[in-house]
A and B are shown apart, each in its own frame.
Chain A
Amino acid sequence: DAGVTQSPTHLIKTRGQQVTLRCSPKSGHDTVSWYQQALGQGPQFIFQYYEEEERQRGNFPDRFSGHQFPNYSSELNVNALLLGDSALYLCASTQGVAYEQYFGPGTRLTVT
């Protein structure tokens, strides 16, 4: 049973560019959440998708947007990249709004 997968593993972008990160949830899961983990910090909630809609959102600017597809996979898009967007981006999936969220290995984004 495949767990949560994310792609790419690493990414290097230049300030002002746009980036798309991808996540496939664990089999049987229909809810995907995205978190940003800056170096040396705990993960910060970005948003959560359920039934292809953004269910709730953390304190992130509109430059951060997402999408969920009918197969429950999800994308995170970040526009107009800033140096401060450099971080590990984690995707987590769950069945409904259950307590236990399963995390993927993350995508390491570096903005230069």
Chain B
Amino acid sequence: GNSVTQMEGPVTLSEEAFLTINCTYTATGYPSLFWYVQYPGEGLQLLLKATKADDKGSNKGFEATYRKETTSFHLEKGSVQVSDSAVYFCALMAAGGTSYGKLTFGQGTILTVHP
């Protein structure tokens, strides 16, 4: 079945540091890939997405590139802010079949940014 694996956390950084959160996936075909962010006490917000190989999703300074050859979708940001402190989830949606329309999530990575 489909699965998503995120780097073990939590991640603690100082403001303006570089961020990388690793995400790898297992799926047949060409799934769509997503990063969601969850702020304390809130639901999930879509941060960025990529729907085919070599696509780069970007939003609010965050970027992730769909790498089919390494089945990865690592999240990066060049300079984090305190306001980026949240839980980040990598997710995939199958391209078709019985799992189409269903999101499969990783376990989440807690990011804490200190001033």
Contact = CB atoms under 8 A, between A and B. Distances in A.
Interface of A: 4, 31, 33, 35, 40-45, 48, 55-56, 58, 90, 92, 94, 97, 99-106
By secondary structure, the B interface counts as: strand
A4 B43 CA distance: 10
Contact of B101 (A4, A43, A48, A106): A48
Contacts of B35: none
B107 A42 contact: yes
Interface residues of B, number: 25
Of A33, A58, A101, most buried by chain B (CB within 10 Å of CB) is A101
A92 B106 CA distance: 17
Contact of B103 (A41, A55, A101, A104): A101
Interface of B: 4, 32, 34, 36, 42-46, 49, 51, 89, 91, 93, 98-108
Contacts of B105: 42-44
Contacts of A56: 98-99, 101-102
Of A31, A42, A92, A105, most buried by chain B (CB within 10 Å of CB) is A42
Contacts of A104: 43
Nearest to B46: A100
